């Protein structure tokens, strides 16, 4: 390795230590050097195939508080690698949206922590997960923390710490009006570390696809350093719309060095992991002889 390459790698590692990281191939290689978990066997994102997924009549995913106005104050922030909506720490847990059911163990409840986006410089890329060979131009992650852990940092130390909902965006000509509360404030966070209080309320259900009955689920990780393998992923295959002009507003965001685009991680090896898909039909009901599958019998790995 040349001295110049060593210096470049060292600068990249220093940047990671300071909380900044990049998404080009060299930068993602540096993730692995600094954070051992990034080289783990349960890494995300992955390519999902409906033909290779295991169909089960899983329970419905219950989304509590998703149809209510998200209580504030809410803050939109440019952290240099995404645009994030954080919930003010003063909001009491009794007012936070939460989820349970689906592939999650009985009596496990997960509260919303934040949401963020990944998008591409071109319309043929941007999402982190790929489904049936399709990469969408943007993907949103709604991050939830296991209620038994006091905060996100604590949850990152436990294998059942997080559940992340993955939502794809599909381009169309007309604006998606449900995105106005976010897009109308993007200009206020164009520059690195800028933060702005949202001036319009948000209803989380308006950011979800109409069909949440079908979803894919697997065990994985954070898609950014430190890549902790503590995430149960729930991916909705039905995308929500976004217009060309709306997506282009995300492409004006600054990373502090350049425009912030292509902020998605390369695909990871699925290895021995199973991917499940929730489907409800008479064949599955007959096969499992139950209305919904008992998730206590769920195994996440091929043996």
Q: Which residues are annotated as catalytic?
A: 81
Give the separation between CA 138 and CA 253, rounded to whole angstroms. 14
- Which tokens hold the place of 211? 């069909």
Give the separation between CA 47 and CA 53, rounded to whole angstroms. 11
Contact indicator for 40, 228 with CB cutoff of 8 Å? no
For β-strands 162-172 and 231-243, DSSP reports them as: parallel
Contact indicator for 250, 241 with CB cutoff of 8 Å? no
Give the separation between CA 88 and CA 63, rounded to whole angstroms. 20
């Amino acid at each position: 390795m040349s001295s110049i390459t060593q210096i470049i790698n060292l600068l990249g590692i220093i940047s990671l230590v300071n909380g900044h990281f990049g998404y080009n191939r060299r930068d993602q290689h540096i993730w692995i050097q600094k954070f051992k978990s990034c080289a783990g066997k349960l890494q995300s994102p992955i390519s999902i195939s409906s033909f290779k997924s295991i169909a089960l009549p899983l329970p419905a995913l219950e989304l509590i508080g998703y149809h209510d106005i998200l209580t504030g104050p809410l803050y939109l922030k440019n952290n240099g690698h995404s645009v994030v909506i954080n919930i003010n720490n003063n909001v009491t847990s009794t007012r936070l949206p939460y989820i349970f059911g689906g592939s999650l163990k009985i009596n496990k409840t997960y509260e919303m922590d934040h949401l963020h986006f990944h998008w591409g410089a071109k319309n043929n890329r941007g999402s982190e997960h790929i489904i049936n060979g399709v990469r969408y131009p943007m993907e949103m992650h709604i991050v939830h923390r296991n209620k038994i852990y006091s905060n996100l940092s604590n949850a990152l130390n436990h294998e059942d710490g997080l559940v992340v909902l993955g939502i794809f965006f599909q381009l169309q000509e007309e604006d998606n009006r449900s995105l106005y509360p976010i897009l109308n404030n993007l200009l206020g966070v164009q520059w690195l570390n800028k933060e702005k209080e949202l001036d319009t309320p948000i209803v989380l259900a308006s950011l979800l696809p109409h069909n949440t009955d079908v979803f894919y689920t697997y065990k994985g990780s954070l898609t950014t350093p430190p890549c902790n393998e503590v995430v149960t992923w729930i991916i909705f295959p039905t995308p929500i719309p976004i217009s060309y002009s709306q997506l282009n507003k995300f492409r004006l965001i600054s990373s502090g060095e350049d425009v912030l685009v292509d902020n998605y991680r390369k695909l990871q090896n699925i290895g021995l992991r199973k991917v499940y898909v929730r489907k409800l039909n008479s064949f599955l009901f007959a096969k499992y002889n139950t209305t919904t599958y008992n998730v206590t019998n769920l195994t996440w790995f091929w043996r």
